[in-house]
Chains A and B, each alone.
Chain A
Amino acid sequence: MAIKVQQLDSCRWRIPREGAMRTDGLVFASPAMMQDLRREQALEQVCNVATLPGIVGPSMAMPDIHWGYGFPIGGVAAFDAEQGIVSPGGVGYDINCGVRLLRSNLKAEEIHPHLDRLADALFRNIPAGVGSHHSDFKLSIAEERSVLTKGAAWAVEKGFGNDNELEYIENHGTIAGADSEKVSERALERGRSQLGTLGSGNHFLEIQQVEAIYDEDAAAVLGLYPGQVTVSIHTGSRGLGYQVCDDYLKIMLKAARKYGIILPDRQLCCAPLQSDEARDYMAAMACAANYAFANRQMITSHVRETFEEILGKGSADLRMATIYDVCHNIAKWETHRISGQERKLCVHRKGATRAFPPGHKEIPAVYQPIGQPVLIPGDMGRYSYVLTGTAGAYEETFGSSCHGAGRVLSRHAAKKSARGRDIIGDLAKQGILVRAAGRATVAEEMPEAYKDVADVVQVIERAGIGRIVARLKPMAVVKG
């Protein structure tokens, strides 16, 4: 299918409405990115999303857009509360896959002599890899239901962190409306022993150092300075979230038939937001999102303990605090101003980050002057970025920005390119230690498999939908 694309400026591309599309597509990308995009099916997926009922504004994609399933990765779409739909495929299997960034009171040179031991200990203390679980920690059913309704607050109640860090998590670490009765037994079973684990694929835990500051005022508010050690945690709702998505895709396939919704792709199956099916999904999705918040909260606690153990310092010396924690895969009720009127919308972000502007009531008081922190991981060989949300994003993209670098090589192509190379050895020569559970993961996740995240965040800043604050360089990476 040839997609018509009109260049609007150096970073915006319009896909004019045609056929069954109810609205235009709007893609944020550089000309070079657009050339690559035309070779895969992500643009077609932007068009497919534009056909869904009740869509408000364009079907959007951020500059880390790549070919997904159903929605493109990097997709953002908002739906009217009365006329619109919710689609589990527009959230994805890894519900509330997201990133948390921790700052510390440490400088890179202080931890260099201990980096090997730190990497080993993090790899040992935080289970990673396929089906990773804690052998000595399994939730009771009652405890698990409590996790699903309370989210990160459950973890804090159990001693995994402090009350005051909940403020620095999107939605304070708890999505309202969670109802564990809407989560299947199978999903509950899958989640019981996986809390506090990293998982596999593109999930990671990374020790980083602040390599560059671009916005000194914002960096000061975030407590970031050059040479400082930070830690990023990228994981989600594990098997519980995958199962919730799978369970509700089945329900939504039936619902789409029941409500006469024509689907260009089964994975976009959905139900009207006012239907029982949609209400049940939102309640179950909130449970999985809360599980993910609790998961990152527990891992944060394990990271702190590991640093304390290896460096022989107390928490008061390390001062490892959460800068922020963001969701990448979520559908949320939000109020946005459309043509001068406030409207309640269900905003789907599939591989995209909320990026609320300075002054927004839903971001922590201390960040009101600078906007919401937006955490953008790159690949394990280059760098990650910290951005802040802008008024431009709030006006144009329902307060959304990108979520990462975005893949550019298929897994097969990455493995082929890695053949005969020692990726871990090459990274070690650059001063980056890697600990990985799966032998294929490192090859498939090699730096060249991803776009240069610097290109991605430059498009974001040029478009005015995010502001670059700092660049973080990896020192040690734990991969699933």
Chain B
Amino acid sequence: MNKGYRLLEHTADMGIEARAESCPKVLEEMARGLTMVLFGDSPASASIAKKVHLREDNSVELMVAWLNEILYWCEQNNLVLAASRIDTLEEGELWATLSGETFDQKRHHIERQVKAITYYQACLEETSGAWHARVYVDL
């Protein structure tokens, strides 16, 4: 695949796979993929922002926590994600900014529910000078 994200087939659930030139960028691409799973192509503006700080034991677990954090933020606050930016990424730790707007039935639609981001076949690795990530989500 080229740089960006794509959705993966799964019998019951769905996967998200992304490729980018850096680890922060691939995490941002994964967030875009998750937004597509949740809200389809609903356009959203960045009227509400939130700072995120996460720390986990390794990069894969950090990626799963990152995507689960987005899921939680959107669900609890009835938001559509507009953008995500990784501000700082260190070994097992990230600081990021999420932005979005309140769900508006006239302009947005909910594509499907994601219960959680799973660890099944989750990967985050650098190969041939590009970063590759994959998760499966529970629907």
Please determine whether A269 and B113 come into contact, CB atoms closer than 8 angstroms. no
Task: State the Cβ distance, B38 to closest chain A Cβ, in Å.
Answer: 8
Task: State the Cβ distance, B76 to closest chain A Cβ, in Å.
Answer: 7
Q: Mark A259-281, 1 if CB is under 8 A from B, else 0.
A: 00000011101000000000000
Please determine whether A40 and B120 come into contact, CB atoms closer than 8 angstroms. no
* B40: A residues at CB distance < 8 A: 440
The stretch of A27-35, A65-73, A103-111 that contacts the partner chain:
A65-73
Q: Determine the main DSSP class of B at the interface with A.
A: loop
Contact of A440 among B78, B111, B121 (CB under 8 A): B111
Contact of A480 among B9, B65, B78, B113 (CB under 8 A): B113
Give the complex CA separation of A290 and B9 in angstroms.
Answer: 33
Give the complex CA separation of A88 and B110 in angstroms.
Answer: 28
The stretch of A244-252, A316-324, A362-370, A464-472 that contacts the partner chain:
A244-252
Which B residue sits closest to A438, measured CB to CB?
B110
Task: State the Cβ distance, B13 to closest chain A Cβ, in Å.
Answer: 7
Please determine whether A73 and B76 come into contact, CB atoms closer than 8 angstroms. no
Q: Mark A457-478, 1 if CB is under 8 A from B, else 0.
A: 0000000000000000000000
Please determine whether B112 and A68 come into contact, CB atoms closer than 8 angstroms. no
Which A residue sits closest to B113, measured CB to CB?
A200
* A189: B residues at CB distance < 8 A: 76
Contact of B14 among A200, A239, A409, A411 (CB under 8 A): A411
Give the complex CA separation of A412 and B6 in angstroms.
Answer: 12
Question: Which has the most chain A C-beta neighbours within 10 Å: B57, B60, B78, B120?
Answer: B120
Q: Does B139 contact A (CB under 8 A)?
A: yes
Q: Mark A398-421, 1 if CB is under 8 A from B, else 0.
A: 000000000111111100000000
Q: Does B61 contact A (CB under 8 A)?
A: yes
Please determine whether A269 and B119 come into contact, CB atoms closer than 8 angstroms. yes
> In chain B, residues 104-137, which have Cβ atoms closer than 8 Å to a Cβ of chain A?
109-113, 115-116, 118-122, 136
Task: State the Cβ distance, B103 to closest chain A Cβ, in Å.
Answer: 9
Task: State the Cβ distance, A246 to closest chain B Cβ, in Å.
Answer: 5
Given contacts A92-B138, A267-B118, contact A438 B112 (CB under 8 A): yes
* A343: B residues at CB distance < 8 A: none
Please determine whether B119 and A66 come into contact, CB atoms closer than 8 angstroms. no
Q: How many residues of B contact A (CB 8 A)?
A: 34
Q: Does A8 contact B (CB under 8 A)?
A: no
Question: Which has the most chain A C-beta neighbours within 10 Å: B13, B68, B115?
Answer: B115
Please determine whether A239 and B75 come into contact, CB atoms closer than 8 angstroms. yes
Please determine whether A130 and B68 come into contact, CB atoms closer than 8 angstroms. no
Give the complex CA separation of A190 and B113 in angstroms.
Answer: 14
Given contacts A201-B113, A249-B119, contact A66 B12 (CB under 8 A): yes
Give the complex CA separation of A325 and B60 in angstroms.
Answer: 38
Given contacts A201-B113, A440-B111, contact A130 B119 (CB under 8 A): no
Give the complex CA separation of A440 and B39 in angstroms.
Answer: 10
Q: Does B50 contact A (CB under 8 A)?
A: no
Q: Does A307 contact B (CB under 8 A)?
A: no
> In chain B, residues 62-112, which have Cβ atoms closer than 8 Å to a Cβ of chain A?
65, 68, 72, 75-76, 78, 109-112
Chain A positions within 8 Å of B, measured between CB atoms, are 40, 42, 66-70, 73, 89, 92-94, 129-131, 186, 189-190, 199-201, 239, 242-243, 245-246, 249-250, 253-254, 265-267, 269, 407-413, 437-441, 444, 480
A89-B118, A201-B139, A410-B9 are known contacts; what are 8 more A-B pairs with Cβ within 8 Å?
A70-B118, A73-B12, A246-B68, A250-B61, A266-B60, A266-B120, A411-B14, A438-B113
| Top 4 closest pairs, chain A to chain B, by CB | A69-B120, A200-B113, A266-B119, A267-B120
